[in-house]
Chains A and B, each alone.
Chain A
């Protein structure tokens, strides 16, 4: 398929910075995905005791001072690490860039929960006297905090904000960055998603109350989308930020171009607070394919959203089967089976984990799939071992969230003259 759009209206990814529970850059993350390395571990949290979670192990002091860590948030720290790593990966010299034409757009599932819980916990020892409530609370909990901390760290003076989009946040941050470039609001976008949800007992307790918090004697086997024995979500933290540029700008500076974003869509179920809706997911996938001018058989890899909940996995499988047929050309995988659900970071992280497929022609698998749920029986699901394929030109990434928000991103291998 040829692209006829002018280079000024084609948006490409030229850098990736990430931290995941099983890797602190794309090379490490990819290696873990190809070798079956999980990032899930036991974690003790207040009020609940032992839970299972995906924790990141990057060095925050690589790009921040100790004082910055004390003052800021975990999500801010994750965002700074990812942004700095993305810029380094893109070989961008920000000093030569107009920082007022750089935007930071980060998807989040929620923000401020961790900090609010911490403050309430702290003032409990003072009998809830609010004069002990921290003056740092408001700048920590404002919804733009993770993106704002990036601008403070990097001296970026263009727009910054987060996009609250539940677990579709990572994809939506990326889509928004693309849109701001197309609108000529910025010349460079740092876009993706972050999550610090593992710091909040409330997130774990909420999933538990819903009957959707995963448990397993072996932490590394707890996240098991599409498996008959799946029993819920493993909450994880993480972040992934992409450097986005117009193709014309990327070519001008001789950037290494990872891929082009050719399709995307966002829609809403308008049916339920929690339960997904097959019809709107089908519609969202088709919207993204239409925008890209593609047919379902053009897609080579589908990264599923599948979180390991009984209902969510089932609905997504039905939606994929409806669009791609019983025997899809695309190979289908799931990244949460390795890293758990990185919430606002999930969509961006999972897309990033698949990007090296353009080069290595390997599709990372869905792990922990010992007994495939017959209702989730997708043909071409890559199970437990990576699969070598002849070509990877298009990757489609599903990311859905509560309140019925759906998002789909399609990226294309970049070829000069494509």
Chain B
């Protein structure tokens, strides 16, 4: 997957987790939780979806890397490039 594809995938996962939120103007460089209502349990849902869909394990110490959409793409790219 390319970075853009990864961003789209993460966005699609977030849309599933917080279906009431408008994600159309989500900025890539601003923490997601500052832009939409996404609490810690929702964040764990993102981690779980990555695990279930792609077998990706994100250690707890790395959660901070997924704070923004851009950060997520950068962190996940080496782990998803073969997908």
Contacts and interface: CB of A to CB of B under 8 A. Distances in A.
Interface stretch (A46-54, A128-136, A299-307): A128-136
Interface residues of B, number: 11
A131 B50 CA distance: 12
A141 to B, nearest CB: 15
B17 interface: yes
A70 B48 contact: no
Contacts, number: 22
B19 interface: yes
B48 A67 contact: no
Interface string B32-48: 00000000011011001
Contacts of B48: 132, 134-135
Contacts of B19: 66-67, 70
A131 B20 contact: no
Contacts of B51: 131-132
A71 interface: yes
B82 interface: no
Nearest to A126: B52
A65 interface: yes
B52 A70 contact: no
A114 to B, nearest CB: 19
A65 B41 contact: no
B18 interface: yes
Contacts of A135: 41, 44-45, 48
A131 B63 CA distance: 17
A70 B17 contact: yes
A67 B41 contact: no
Interface in A55-69: 65-67
A66 B19 CA distance: 6
The 10 closest A-B pairs by CB, nearest first: A66-B19, A65-B20, A135-B44, A66-B20, A67-B18, A67-B20, A67-B19, A132-B52, A135-B41, A136-B41
